[in-house]
């Protein structure tokens, strides 16, 4: 399997504080890969190192098989980035921003940029600072896509967007990128939005990657078990009292051990429920 990004034993320290501790990830080409975690989990530090914006304390990152810190200038020609907060000079007109980017990126496609603006009703002569949050995010996406990227990195792309704008971004933009074979790496808190789109998931907790696997595999092994006693369940991640019995979240469910729970109430979990079980007080799965 070809990996667009490989993060190996990455550690980031700020003085005595460790923000990322020996994190390793491998992002397959053409996948939609979601990095999840609470605020302060270490996601931003990892992403900065992944993009060559920050040198790690230990470990290294390769992008398209090349060292991202050493070869960043050349590699960024192949990467589109949409930051958490859409950033451009507020007085600059959208058309001027595009003109600047056209001089920077060799594979710039002006027609693709213009078409996306027209599609979302954004006037090229508008000043960036006068746009709504949703419009700013669409301009950022249009800029990132117009450079013809092989990889696009979206840092919490739905932050501050209303429900309609979030749905449009996830279903249309990310879905469109996946169909075109563009690798998508994103951080997000919108677990419901990404659940039907992501191929692979990683969860960071306290600077460590505590879970990393295909989403379908993850969802197939997590179940909510309601039975007379949590002791009846194996692979328990979290448990609590439930009526006269107990409710447990297990992480090792499969058809082979399904008979064990024949008398119990068994239910699948959403990605949000799995995240809470893994990232909450229950610990690592």
What pLDDT sits at residue 211? 94
Percent of the chain with pLDDT over 90: 61
- Lowest pLDDT segment from 59-63, 150-154, 169-173: 169-173
Residue 230: predicted pLDDT:
54
Sign, CA torsion 211/9/68/86: positive
Q: Tell me how many degrees the CA angle 41-46-52 measures, rounded to the nearest 5.
A: 160
Q: What is the mean pLDDT of residues 23-46?
A: 94
pLDDT at 184 over 60: yes
Q: Which residues pair with 236 in a beta bridge?
A: 250
Strand positions, DSSP E, the chain: 3-14, 17-28, 32-36, 58-63, 66-67, 79-82, 151-155, 183-187, 200-205, 208-214, 223-227, 236-242, 245-250, 265-268
Is the pLDDT confidence value at 254 over 70?
yes
- The side-by-side arrangement of strands in the sheet containing 3-14 is 17-28, 3-14, 58-63, 66-67
Superfamily of domain 3-215: P-loop containing nucleotide triphosphate hydrolases (3.40.50.300)
Q: pLDDT grade, residue 229 (50/70/90)?
A: low
Query: Over 80: is that where the pLDDT of 269 sits?
Result: yes
What is the average pLDDT score of the chain?
Answer: 88
Report whether 276 contacts 191 (CB < 8 A). no
Angle between helices 133-146 and 110-119 (to 10 degrees): 160
Q: Are 141 and 116 in contact (CB under 8 A)?
A: yes
Q: What is the pTM of this model?
A: 0.88
CATH 3.40.50.300 in the chain: give the residue spans: 3-215
């Amino acid at each position: 399997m070809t990996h667009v990004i490989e993060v190996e034993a990455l550690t980031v320290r700020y003085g005595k504080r460790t923000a990322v501790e020996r994190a390793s990830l491998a992002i397959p080409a053409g996948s939609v890969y979601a990095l999840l975690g609470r605020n302060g989990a270490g996601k931003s530090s990892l992403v900065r190192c992944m993009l060559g914006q920050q040198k790690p304390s230990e470990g290294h990152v390769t992008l398209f098989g090349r060292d991202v810190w050493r070869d960043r200038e050349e590699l960024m020609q192949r990467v589109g980035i949409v930051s958490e907060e859409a950033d451009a000079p507020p007085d600059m007109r959208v058309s001027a921003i595009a003109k600047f980017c056209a001089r920077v990126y060799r594979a710039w496609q002006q027609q693709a940029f213009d078409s996306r603006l027209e599609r979302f009703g954004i006037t090229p002569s508008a000043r960036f600072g006068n746009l709504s949050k949703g419009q700013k995010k669409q301009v950022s996406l249009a800029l990132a896509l117009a450079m013809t990227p092989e990889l696009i990195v979206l840092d919490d792309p739905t932050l501050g967007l209303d429900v309609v704008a979030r749905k449009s971004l996830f279903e249309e933009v990310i879905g469109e990128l996946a169909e075109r074979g563009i690798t998508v790496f994103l951080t997000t808190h919108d677990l419901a939005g990404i659940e039907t789109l992501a191929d692979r998931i990683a969860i960071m907790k306290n600077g460590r990657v505590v879970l990393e696997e295909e989403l379908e595999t993850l969802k197939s092994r997590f179940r909510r078990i309601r039975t007379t006693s949590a002791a009846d369940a194996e692979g328990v991640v979290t448990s609590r009292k439930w009526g006269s019995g107990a409710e447990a979240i297990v992480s090792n469910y499969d058809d082979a051990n399904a008979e064990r729970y024949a008398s119990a109430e068994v239910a699948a979990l959403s990605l949000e429920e799995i995240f809470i079980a893994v990232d909450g007080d229950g610990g690592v799965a």
